[in-house]
């Protein structure tokens, strides 16, 4: 069952594909994926950071 990607999902997939093409990669490590996600502007929320320091 195929579904339509929303704008954010499409941006993520395009960033992954661009990275794979420019680095001649078929599969990415989680470190590479995280770097792409951060490059797109994602970061931990302050609430999540506070919960982690209390644990």
Q: How far apart are CA 18 and CA 40, in angstroms?
A: 13
The mean pLDDT value for 9-16 works out to 98
The mean pLDDT value for 1-14 works out to 90
For residue 4, being part of any structural domain is answered with: no
How many helices (H) and strands (E) the chain has is answered by 3, 0
Q: How many domains does the chain have?
A: 1
Q: What is the pLDDT of residues 14-46, one digit of tens each?
A: 999 999 999 999 999 999 999 999 999 998 888
For residue 12, being part of any structural domain is answered with: no
For residue 23, being part of any structural domain is answered with: yes
For residue 44, being part of any structural domain is answered with: yes
For residue 7, being part of any structural domain is answered with: no
For residue 33, being part of any structural domain is answered with: yes
For residue 6, being part of any structural domain is answered with: no
Residue recorded with tokens 């499409």: 10
For residue 49, being part of any structural domain is answered with: yes
């Amino acid at each position: 069952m195929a579904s339509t990607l929303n704008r954010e999902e499409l941006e993520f997939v395009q960033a992954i594909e661009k990275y794979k093409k420019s680095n001649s990669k078929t599969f990415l490590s989680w470190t590479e994926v995280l770097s792409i996600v951060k490059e797109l502007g994602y970061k931990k929320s302050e609430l999540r950071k506070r919960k982690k320091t209390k644990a």
